[in-house]
Structure 1
């Protein structure tokens, strides 16, 4: 039996690169976002997580669903699947490491091996659509 980890992610692309983060003590990069709290909508989770992780504000009226991706969860036993519901959105402020985030970086498709399995699927999708170089 598999377990599903439900996460919301923010896809921020600029000049063919994607914003990624690395948490304290982690060895891979992750697309910013996180797990919803009870009663939260996708937008609630997205806004809260991005403010917590990057000290910026998402512009709610600009939020657009990009896609939903599933893969084996990095660092979890086999059968633990992570589902990433991905959104794009404009923001106010400059992304800055906050809370558990140690580093904020802009990655290209060449960095695919440095991210979690579900993020690799997202990188593949964005590369195929020409948005990630």
Structure 2
């Protein structure tokens, strides 16, 4: 099966999760993106977050939170996305940039509005008590 390799940032605040919506998309996605040739997870995450949200993640604070796999939103049914999820602190002010049209803070009740892999993450965070209803 085809697999999309995505690195994403998990940022929680007051029981809500930071999410984004790209121009022309109908679902919310955790911020991050695809690896470019030769990039490490950290390289990819730092680049993508700087490009999409205009903030700088602290590389020393990166913490692997998990790896999740689900059908890729908006692709053929046999295409999967594997999301490697990191938490990290940042400096700067969150602002949408590049293809990002909207930044939102979501709780568990917004689960139907996110991609399938993000839904797995929402379920996991709810079980851990980290995501508000």
Q: TM-score, normalised by structure 2?
A: 0.98
| Superposed displacement of residue 68, structure 1 | 0.2
Are 2:48 and 1:49 aligned?
Answer: yes
Gaps of 5+ in 2: none
- Structure 1, residues 20-62: CA drift from partner, whole Å, max 9, x if none? 0000010100000000000000000000000000000000110
User: Which residue of 2 is the match for residue 35 of structure 1?
Assistant: 34
Indicate the RMSD between aligned Cα atoms, in angstroms.
Answer: 0.4
User: Which residue of 2 is the match for residue 95 of structure 1?
Assistant: 94
* Counterpart-to-counterpart distance in 1, 2:93 and 2:120: 26
| Superposed displacement of residue 94, structure 1 | 1.7
Partner-residue secondary structure (3-state), 1:85: strand
- Structure 1, residues 94-124: CA drift from partner, whole Å, max 9, x if none? 2100000000000000000000000000000
Partner-residue secondary structure (3-state), 1:45: helix
| Superposed displacement of residue 90, structure 1 | 0.1
* Counterpart-to-counterpart distance in 2, 1:61 and 1:23: 28
Between the two proteins, the alignment pairs up a number of residues equal to 132
